[in-house]
Amino acid sequence: MFVNLFSYLLMINFSLLTYNHIFDSFILHFLYFHHYLRKENFIMGFGINNRLSRIIKPKTGKTVMLAVDHGYFQGPTTGLRDLKKTVTPLIPHTDCLFITRGMVRNCIDPRSDVSVCLRVSGGPSILGELSNEDITTSLEEAIRLNAAGVGMSIFVGAPNEDRTIANLGRLVSEAERYGMPVLAVTAIGREMARDARYLSLACRIAAEIGARFVKTYYCEDFYKVVEGCPVPIVMAGGKKIPEMDALQMTANAIKEGASGVDMGRNIFQSDNPVGMIKAIRAIVHKGATVDEAFEIYSKK
């Protein structure tokens, strides 16, 4: 800062003494503010923007994230009993894996060029109170694993709502120091409908607290959720549904403003996971119709 100020003062002196012309001085001031300060801003934002661009692809402004973090509270769930076997053939079609550090270390080939968004929250299993989560993985670990982002859940309308939202605030404050974008995964209380009203509430809170992008479920009037949330939203797939319905839901979400998907079960529990992720990609990145995408899925 002082060096910058010093060189700026030198420039003023130089312009006044040598040229003694107000016009030259004006030009130098203009160049300084528009070139130097803009460049500095760019450098300061490089880390976080570079990481984000490894998740949300700049070419389309969208992403196909593959969510395989389910084991952090569900254990060896259907389709992910052998995570390495399931995920390896899907990696070439994936922009970013949403995954825990344990599965990254043990199941992902480090030579792979897929980016990783690390799930860094956890605590309870499916047998306990799901909202009782805390941060489980350090930022240092995320950096060591070359993560492009970190993600955690907030539970709006659930018993530990306040703690999970406060935890998000703490994670964002620490992550921003290292240029690490934070994904907030929005969960809502058991008795609340997964509708635009409650999902909007959860997504907006996540953005207000500082999440760089947000994951939520599809709902009727999804565009209202997008409208109320100034950061990119990626759609979670939810429970396994017929492939045609999952493709239709994806197309609707993209049309209504989603920046892509962070989908798990509707890909890895499909009878043709590779076909399904290719079909999802075609919708997200190429604007394929649902029928075109279904054809891609159907090719074995």
Supply the minimum distance, in Å, between the C-beta of residue 227 and ligand R5P: 23
Supply the minimum distance, in Å, between the C-beta of residue 54 and ligand R5P: 18
Q: For ligand R5P, which is the closer residue by CB, 52 or 253?
A: 253
Alpha helices, H only, the chain: 2-14, 22-31, 37-44, 46-55, 71-74, 83-87, 101-107, 139-144, 161-177, 196-209, 222-227, 243-255, 265-268, 273-286, 290-298
Give residue for tokens 């207000």: 208
Question: Which of 93, 204, 265, 278 forms a contact with ligand R5P (CB under 6 A)?
Answer: 265
Among 7-15, 26-34, 166-174, 262-270, which window interacts with ligand R5P (CB under 6 A)? Answer: 262-270
Q: Under the criterion CB under 6 A, does residue 276 sit at the interface with ligand R5P?
A: no
Question: Which of 97, 139, 185, 280 forms a contact with ligand R5P (CB under 6 A)?
Answer: 185
Q: Which residues contact 114 (CB under 8 A, 6 or more apart)?
A: 91, 94, 95, 96, 97, 108
215 classed as catalytic: yes
Q: What distance in Å separates the CA atoms of residue 165 and residue 176, rounded to the nearest whole number?
A: 16
Question: Tokens representing 154?
Answer: 């907030």
Among 20-28, 67-75, 160-168, 201-209, which window interacts with ligand R5P (CB under 6 A)? Answer: 67-75
Question: Tokens representing 221?
Answer: 């009037």
Question: Which of 79, 264, 273, 275 forms a contact with ligand R5P (CB under 6 A)?
Answer: 264
Supply the minimum distance, in Å, between the C-beta of residue 69 and ligand R5P: 5
- Number of neighbouring beta carbons within 10 Å of residue 85: 10
- Number of neighbouring beta carbons within 10 Å of residue 105: 11
Q: For ligand R5P, which is the closer residue by CB, 15 or 80?
A: 80
Residue ranges binding ligand R5P (CB under 6 A): 67, 69-70, 98, 153, 185, 236-238, 262-266
Query: So which residues are the catalytic ones?
Result: 215
